[in-house]
Amino acid sequence: MSIVVTGATGQLGRLVIDALLATEPALPAGSVVAVVRDKAKAADLAERGVELRIADYDKPETLADAFAAGDRVLLISGSEVGRRVPQHTAVVAAAKAAGVAQLAYTGILGGPDADFALADEHKATERAILDAGLPYTFLRNGWYTENYTAHLGPVLAHGAVVANAGEGRVASAARADYAAAAAAVLTGPLDEHLGRAYELSGDVSWTLADYAAEVARLSGQEIGYSSVPAATHLEILVGAGVPQPFAEILVDVDEAIARGRLANQGDDLTRLIGRPTTPIAATIGAALAAR
């Protein structure tokens, strides 16, 4: 039996691998497997003792050897919005054919109740997993704080956080928190996690005005929050070079935030990782220090 992480060279995948390799007691040598498209990009993982299996979500025939009977698998959702249903369905079919012991999937907070466009492909994937009869664990990830800190450049340049989220609250956590939860689910007793759907979010919810104030405090710059109509925000994003379809998704997410859809404050994430989630100040500080 191996613990298999798909998309292992992505931002979340690498953190999951880190968390698995740091597990105490240590996992058996060679038991952690990374499924990657590009072997060269995963050379550092191989040097750490991780087995590499080469496969591509877009090439179902390559997935035939990605999994083996009894494997515990993490399907990290693809990053290409609009293409994820066929990609994920191919992984589900390969996992079913292999007879995996667990298929964990990184979906989105709210699962079938999420009412915004970005959730649609995640809901379809969960349904495909259920229809396949696979032994599953759903990791319904809330927002990553890094979704915001990755775009600190424009915020600092213009002195403003611009969104159409109104006074909606976001219960975000650091990407590493979600990775630690995935590692816990992949290494913990199967009977505790199979058939479970975890709603994962940060311990503290905050508004974008709170976020702007924290960036201002840590950067020493004047930063404000500008809440604009959805149409105005869409125009700003497209004008900044964001492709129209993706800009529409971002605006729709802000509308969902305004409705409170990403403000869940359940304790599933804290319980899985055995510690409080990372405060936004820590993630903002790290992003500022890295600039």
Contact indicator for 112, 171 with CB cutoff of 8 Å? no
Contact indicator for 117, 237 with CB cutoff of 8 Å? no
Decide if pLDDT at 40 tops 90: yes
Handedness of CA 55, 57, 61, 65 (dihedral sign): positive
Task: Label residue 29 by pLDDT band (50, 70, 90).
Answer: confident
Query: What average pLDDT is seen over the chain?
Result: 96
Q: What percentage of the chain carries pLDDT values higher than 90? A: 94
Whole-Å CA distances, 208 to 71, 113, 166, 237:
41, 24, 8, 17
Q: Which two tokens stand for residue 114?
A: 């999420």
Task: Label residue 184 by pLDDT band (50, 70, 90).
Answer: very high
Decide if pLDDT at 79 tops 90: no
Rounded CA separation 200/123 (Å): 16
- pLDDT of amino acid 264: 81
Q: Which CATH architecture has domain 3-141+175-199+266-274?
A: 3-Layer(aba) Sandwich (3.40)
- pLDDT of amino acid 63: 95
3-class secondary structure, 59: strand
Q: For the whole model, what pTM was predicted? A: 0.96
How do residues 214-260 score in pLDDT, each as one tens digit?
999 999 999 999 999 999 999 999 999 999 999 999 999 999 999 99
252 CA to centre of own chain? 18
- pLDDT of amino acid 3: 98
152-156 long-range contacts, CB within 8 A, separation 24+: 152/215, 152/284, 152/287, 152/288, 152/291, 153/291, 154/240, 155/212, 155/215, 155/223, 156/215, 156/219, 156/221, 156/223
How do residues 257-290 score in pLDDT, each as one tens digit?
999 999 987 899 999 999 999 999 999 999 999 9
How many C-beta atoms lie closer than 10 Å to residue 94's C-beta? 22
The domain segmentation of the chain, as residue ranges, is 3-141+175-199+266-274
Rounded CA separation 95/183 (Å): 19
3-class secondary structure, 34: strand
